[in-house]
Amino acid sequence: MPLIKTWQLIAGSAVAGLALSATAVAAAGPWDSGQRKAERVAAASWSPTGGGDHEERLIPLAAPSAPGVLTPLRAPGSAPAANQDALADALRPLLADSALGSVRGASVVEAATGKVLFESGSHEVMTPASTIKIATASAALAALGPEHRIRTTVVPDQGGRIVLVGGGDPSLSARKKNPAGPGGSLVALAADTAQALRSANTDTVTLGYDASLFSGPARHPIGPNDNIAPVSALMADEGRSDDSFAGPVDRGDDPAQDAARAFADLLRERGIKVTGEAVPAKAPAGAQPLAVTLSTPLGGLVERMLTNSDNDIAEALARQTALAAGKPASFEGGERAVTDRLATLGVDLGGARFADGSGLNRADKVSAGLLTALLAKAADPARPELRPVLTGLPVAGFSGTLKARNAGASPAAGLLRAKTGTLTGVNSLAGAVVDPSGRLLVFAFLTANTPAPDTAEKALDKLAAAVATTS
């Protein structure tokens, strides 16, 4: 049975008018091409051509089209006109909460028509924190498509040396079973390399590693931080010092060297003698690979990034966007490429700046209106390549960074998908929900100078719940 492409999947219970049980969502297991297995099987079951095949393959097979993501329950124009006054009456007092700081931007838009249902400071650019990942994801998907895969290779060099070449795969893992889900595998790469060497009657090599694909400073401008590793074209398990796959943790100073050392150990386990230490090297131009491992498809990377607010994936995707545009794979090159690519989507970029891909940089600037415009593009049936922007958003009360928010008895639990954003004094929330009348609405709320993150998040959650429940 063929695998369903991630960008063709149905997203959630509110959208299809079918309920994923709390048990099914809570039990959602490992990632499978970016989509949690339980959610994927449920989504496939709603389509007459669907199915739940989770066999691992190097390249996913093509599959019949599934219904669109976050499809409204009614066709555009068939539902009663949305009561804008009721929505405004619900949102204005909530937006006035002092917990939201001194500056607020808000935008609520009907995705199918682009009609603005509510706005307040929606064109004012503000620091978005991690909600900028919506822009990073949109640019990368528009540039490369959801099925694009990133290659990590091993190539022969002179004098009995082989070179491990990083392609910028943020899913690359040195673990036998990656808890983050399928992705590039140093274990499989080592096995294939060892077989190729033995076929050439070689059992002893020296190892070089090439991380030159990315340029510019490796350190994010915030400096050493548990939320992000030095940005490298060669990195295994995001440079993490433990077995985690999400959240803050101590990182190594040189991810490329750490990955090369892990690869050397894997070769030794497979009977290849690796002499000396792995050292930086430049892969010979035009060399044919001895072995190749491929990343999770880009759509899956986008989903992981958004669900877990993964900063390492975000910076890698900004650089992949730069490479696709022929620009340097650096912070500066990523900024130019993301800006240029988003401009091709026809959204208003007035005052916007994408100083990084993750939102850790306070120099990032977007408006609430820009975020809702990008979310509406992701819901557009004419832009299926952008669909992972919606399928990757955490589900309120169930997954990722929204697992503990709008949870339990909240009327938005299980219905709302949104990207969170948090920096000191900055809190944001942007996402999508089907309202009681059956319309898909996209929303964004940005704040500045918030006095405390906990109270700001609760105030944002009330705003989002109001969008979900007001008709």
The catalytic residues are: 130, 133, 309
Cα distances from 88 to residues 180, 312, 321, 466, in angstroms, run 41, 38, 38, 10
Rounded CA-CA distance 34/30 in Å is 9
Q: Token digits for 221?
A: 């401008």
Q: Report yes or no: 146 and 302 within 8 Å, Cβ to Cβ.
A: yes
What is the rounded distance in angstroms from the CA atom of residue 332 to the CA atom of residue 220?
Answer: 12
In whole angstroms, give the CA distance from residue 311 to residue 425. 19
Rounded Cα–Cα distance for residues 238 and 79 (Å) = 46
d(CA 101, CA 461): 15
In whole angstroms, give the CA distance from residue 148 to residue 140.
10
- The closest of 186, 296, 270 to 236, measured between CA atoms, is 186
SS3 content of the chain, % helix, strand, coil (to 5): 35, 15, 50
Task: Measure CA 466 to chain center.
Answer: 26
In Å, what is the CA distance from 444 to each residue of 37, 420, 432? 29, 10, 9
How many DSSP H helices and E strands does the chain contain?
A: 13, 13
CA pair distance 361, 381, nearest whole angstrom? 33
